[in-house]
Amino acid sequence: MIPRAIRRRPVAPDAVLPTGLHPVLARIYRARNLSSTAELDHSFDSLLSPMALKDIDRAVALLAGTIEDQRRILVVADFDADGATSCALVVRALRSLGAHHVDYVVPNRFEYGYGLTPEIVALAAEREPDLLITVDNGISSVEGVRAARARGIAVLITDHHLPGPELPEADAIINPNQRGCSFPSKNLAGVGVAFYCMLALRARLRANGWFARRGLPEPNLARLLDLVALGTVADLVPLDRNNRILVAQGIARVRSGLGCLGVRALAAVAGRRVDGLTACDLAYAVAPRLNAAGRLTDMALGIECLLADDETRAHDMAVKLDGLNRERRVIEAEMQAQALAALDALRLDAASLPRGLCLHDDSWHQGVIGLVASRLKERLHRPVIAFAPSSDTDLKGSARSIPGLHIRDALDAVAARHPGLIARFGGHAMAAGLTLARAHLDAFRAAFDREVSRLIAEDDLRGHVLTDGELRDEELTLEVAQLLRDGGPWGQGFPEPLFDGSFEVVERRVVGERHVKLRVKQDGGRTFEAIGFHLAPTGEPPGWSRLRAAYRLDVNDYRGTRTLQLVLEHVEPS
């Protein structure tokens, strides 16, 4: 493991924040570059308008006409949590807007791969749709759109991934990252893009008198914001102000008991209280269970859970998803152990470790390689691509990056310098996917390492733990912990508060086989409960008498009793 060093975030001194804000919370906001009180306004009315999206008029005209003529609509989903929430949202929204013929198809990643491929179009055509709507995919589906148009099927693409040099010839494309789009936020997840399309469609149908003519109640689309919150947090898109509004509004609805039954059931099987749900709960408890379906079997199970309007049905499917997630954990642990053993066998130190790391094993499960890449990235502090077989001749790769390297741009540079080396690729700044011929792996491994070495700074590889500084004894309170919990939503690009300090270890014991429960105190201060997950891999507690730690303040709600707990994210013997 590459050693990590604690470093404190700089605090902007000139932010104009509300008077009366707790000093700790004010410090946190300044360290996240908030500059005004307006940025803390999470009201629904503060959302950006959908009308700034390029092609939105064309898209809603296509959708409105299809609904008014009651033609057949088929949603083509992606097989991750963003794709599943996008699909459930669009299906629910269209049905509530008066569409009678709405269905969906989600590609099985092991049979069809990603996106609107010609093979998926052929499968979709069996249902005789008049319109295909892609959600969280489609921006790179040049051949798939061509195949659909050849069959006389209209195509609306809704996506957020970065476009390639050639756009599909769809009837309309809604993607804030396409050239010429003036939508101010480029960080929407796929579910955010889908939600904006549905908002614009409702406005068009209202203007056309659709609801009045049909005697339909105009639906409250804000009730779908729990799906937006889940997909946004799960996809690790940066939580800029607009995304924070979407997530905050969605979480508020779940806490009020207004979320869809599937989200509530997934939270329940994960042991999370709905009335106190946070963005971190969505990211680390709900989303992995939803994602497990797409990783191991078929995401249709996850989508059906989100579409369930019967509490028993939602619970039963959530239990199945929880079981799949347990199976996923076992597979992932085995694959990660294999990857680390392979690295250990190479006897590489930090200086000789490749800057861009590619790992492959023929036994690996392609549904879990993204998680393995993510875990190794966190452990080794460099971009990682994990490869698994997708056929006898091809490999599927999942890439995860670190701050300082835009992984999709790095793959684009490799493809430009070495034409034909990569068959397909796409993604974001921090995550991407690719396919290449097995015979090209060694050449790609060398080219990727060279490109990463060219683009990344040495300091980016040091694995810093960024904290918000120390807390005084009087600031280590349940009140402050609750203020921080409610001060988010926290997530990618708007990180949850993390503090550092030196502590004397008063007591230690192992819980849950590998976790360490401690009682610690600052010099001359009070004693606090703390927990460090995975700090006892052998089942024995570390013999620390003193430690320096980076930690989160947590509200531990156990059997109705709320207490303060420090969650140790990084520990150094002191």
The per-residue pLDDT for range 184-223, each reduced to its tens digit, is: 999 999 999 999 999 999 999 999 999 999 999 999 999 9
Binning pLDDT at 50, 70 and 90, where does residue 539 land? Answer: confident
When pLDDT is averaged across residues 328-354 and rounded to a whole number, the result is 78
Indicate the pLDDT class of residue 324, thresholds 50, 70 and 90. Answer: very high
Query: Any idea what the Cα angle at residue 500 is, between residues 495 and 502, rounded to 5°?
Result: 165
User: What number of other Cβ atoms are within 10 A of residue 394's Cβ?
Assistant: 17
Does the pLDDT value for residue 3 go beyond 60?
no
Q: Which pLDDT belongs to residue 350? A: 62
pTM of the model as a whole: 0.89
Alpha carbon distance 242, 313 (integer Å)? 33
Give yes or no for residue 67 having a pLDDT over 90.
Answer: yes
Single out the residue of 116, 173, 172 nearest to residue 148, CA to CA: 116
- pLDDT tens sequence across 527-536: 999 999 888 8
Structure token pair of residue 165: 């040099």
pLDDT at 513: 75
Confidence of residue 550 (pLDDT cuts 50, 70, 90): very high
Question: Is 574's pLDDT higher than 80?
Answer: no
Mean pLDDT confidence for 507-525: 86
Does residue 345 surpass a pLDDT of 80?
A: no
Nearest to 92 by CA among 218, 213, 180, 224: 224
Per the prediction, the chain carries an average pLDDT of 91
Using alpha carbons only, how large is the chain's radius of gyration in Å? 24
Query: Distance between CA 137 and CA 287 in Å, rounded?
Result: 19
Which residue is it, tokens 């039963």? 316
Cα distance from N-terminal residue to C-terminal residue, the chain: 19
pLDDT value at 344 more than 90: no
Instruction: Quickly state the pLDDT bin for 461 (edges 50, 70, 90).
Output: confident
Q: Which two tokens stand for residue 249?
A: 């509004």
> pLDDT per residue over 109-141, tens digit each?
666 667 899 999 999 999 999 999 999 999 989
Residue 543's pLDDT band (cuts 50, 70, 90):
confident
pLDDT of residue 224: 97
Whole-angstrom distance, CA of residue 54 vs CA of residue 178: 8
Quickly list DSSP for 524-570. Answer: TS-EEEEEETT--TTSS----SEEEEEEEEEEEEETTEEEEEEEEEE
Task: For residue 537, give the amino acid letter.
Answer: P
Angle of helix 23-31 relative to helix 478-486, nearest 10 degrees, comes to 40
The model's pLDDT over 236-295, given as tens digits with 9 standing for 90+, comes to 899 999 999 999 999 999 999 988 999 999 999 999 989 889 999 999 999 999 999 988
Indicate if the pLDDT at residue 562 is higher than 90.
no
Confidence of residue 506 (pLDDT cuts 50, 70, 90): very high
pLDDT given at position 540 = 81
Going along the chain from its start, the domains and CATH numbers come out as: 5-28+468-573 (2.40.50.460), 49-322 (3.90.1640.30), 348-461 (3.10.310.30)
Residue 165 DSSP symbol: S
Contact predicate 201/97, CB 8 Å? yes
